[in-house]
Structure 1
Amino acid sequence: MPEWSKFLVPSAFIFVPTVGGFVNAYAVHAKFFKESEKWYNEDLKKPAWTPPNWVFAPVWTTLYTGMGYASYLVYRDGNGFKGDAAGALALYGTQLALNWAWTPIFFGARKMGLGALEIVTTAGCVAGCIYMFWGINKNASYLMMPYLAWLCLASSINIWVWMNNKPAVKNE
């Protein structure tokens, strides 16, 4: 294996979730930015534990980097997509797709209840990844734990927002 590929392969594993997450967020927010910003920041009641908006980009950059490197470690130590890592990496791909689906559900479609169900499902898949990664590379499991913690926080915010911002029922 050439010396440069020792850095290229892990970088590719980090690149995919990071760029995918930001492209997804940009695409949704670019289309609905002014409406989404006003809706989320001004129209919705949010719990006191909601982080300020400036926190999200650095947190997600860190989390995507960690989860990408974790997937590389599992790929490397589990003999790739056809080895012991195959199931763990399939679950990883599932959670990544679910991760990317939340933004258009919550911000694009403004489906807070569906967003809550989706983010809790994502957290369950991440917990499964932590469990499956453990048998292949313990450090990969550890790298996924902050992501699960963040998803638990985000889930609690999503559920609180959903429960406290239900549309009024019209009497006809």
Structure 2
Amino acid sequence: MTDPFAVPARPVLPTLPRIAATILPVALATAVGSLSTGSNIEGWYTTIQKPSFNPPNWAFPVAWTILYTMIAVSLWRLLGARPVAGPTGRAWWLALAAFLMQLVLNAAWTPVFFAAHAIGAGLVVSLAMLVMIFWTIRLSWRFDRLAAWLLVPYAAWVSFATLLNAAIWQLN
């Protein structure tokens, strides 16, 4: 009888496909965000009202570089923690789906907020992303606690960003 909570001694994916499966989705989210901010940081974003707790513009790329690195490491670990068999395997797929969904929402926020200038819709996306990050942490915890912990600073930053988005929406 096999242990339904058994984690394989080696990752399910070989090293190179696992690296690609880790880096490509995170790099894609990063690229979408970067392309969507473009001239909007020095243009549109400077013209809207912001709360007193708005960080300086240089803080965002620094924070996101650190966070995207932690997100990629978390995904790397989660991909390496797939159970061998049993009902736990379905739960792992759910954790992976939640992870990818929060990353899709992450990629969607910047075009909505910066490119479309849709502050209210950006708030909705940010709230949905925050819910998915917390759900991803909860689901990942079962398979790799470090993978889950690596997402906690991300959840904290997105919580702050959601508050900032709400304040900007209220002021504008």
**Using CA pairs below 8 Å that are at least 6 residues apart, which structure has the higher relative contact order?**
2
**Which structure is higher in helix share?**
1
Q: Which residue of 2 aligns with 1:58?
A: 62
Matched, 1:90 2:97: yes
Scaled by the length of structure 1, the TM-score of the pair is 0.82
The separation in 1 between residues aligned to 2:30 and 2:42, in whole angstroms, is 17
Q: Which residue of 2 aligns with 1:128?
A: 135
Letter of the aligned partner of 1:108 in structure 2? A
The separation in 2 between residues aligned to 1:18 and 1:72, in whole angstroms, is 11
Matched, 1:24 2:28: no
% of aligned pairs identical? 30
| Deviates further, 147-156 or 53-62 | 53-62
Q: Which residue of 2 aligns with 1:39?
A: 44
Structure 1 unpaired stretches of 5+: 166-172
Give RMSD over aligned pairs. Answer: 2.1
Letter of the aligned partner of 1:23 in structure 2? A
Q: Which residue of 2 aligns with 1:146?
A: 153
Query: Does the CA-based 8 Å contact 1:77-1:137 persist in structure 2?
Result: yes
Shift of 1:13: 4.7
Scaled by the length of structure 2, the TM-score of the pair is 0.82
Structure 2 unpaired stretches of 5+: 1-9
Shift of 1:10: 5.6
Count, aligned residues: 156
